[in-house]
Amino acid sequence: MSQHAHNKLDQQTRQWMQQTGLDQPAGDFTQRVMQGVEMQKRLAHLKDKRSNIWNILLAVIVPAAYFFYRYMSGAPLLPGGFNLQTELQPYINIFQLLFSKITLDLSAPIVPLGILAIITLLVFDRLIIRSLSLHK
């Protein structure tokens, strides 16, 4: 095809395509997109809130678990050798009793207990999401 014919074809196509115009979506299209944007904003906010709750919980649970472990292994509660065992004995007895009761009752291997713990945490996570959604 010659350059002239090629250019003519190009011009014709441009002219026709521009005459054809664009298709248009439904009238409320922008509104629906913006509703989706709002939803995404809310979800992002919810995600932030949820991670905050988990951070707070971890800040409490991790030190508690650490001290509990040290107590159970008979080591001093703090690395410096400071032993709170005697001072806290009445309170610790309650936890000890509870713990021994659980271990006796369950006496299950560690893997199913781990799975149970994960399921519990997931359920707890869902509950946090649900309660946050309800309070929106």
Partner 1 sequence: MGHIQDEYYIDRVLQGDHSSYAILVERHKDMVYTLASRMLKNREEAEEVAQDAFLKAFRSLKRFRKESRFSTWLYRIVYNLCVSHLRKNKKQVQSLDDNNYHVDPEDPHQKMDQLEASDRSRFIRQALERLGYDEQTIITLYYQDDQSIAEIAEVTLLTQANVKVKLYRARQKLHQHLGNILNHEINSLL
Handedness of CA 101, 103, 108, 112 (dihedral sign): positive
The answer to whether residue 9 forms part of the interface with partner 1 (CB under 8 A) is: yes
- Dist CA 54 CA 64 (whole Å): 15
Binder of partner 1 out of 3, 18, 55, 73 (CB under 8 A):
18
CB 76 within 8 A of CB 70: yes
The answer to whether residue 32 forms part of the interface with partner 1 (CB under 8 A) is: yes
Binder of partner 1 out of 22, 94, 104, 134 (CB under 8 A):
22
Q: Which stretch binds partner 1 (CB under 8 A): 36-44, 58-66, 78-86, 122-130?
A: 36-44
- Dist CA 118 CA 110 (whole Å): 12
- Dist CA 106 CA 112 (whole Å): 10
Where on the chain is the footprint of partner 1 (CB under 8 A)? 1, 5, 8-10, 12-14, 16-26, 29-30, 32-34, 36-38, 40-41
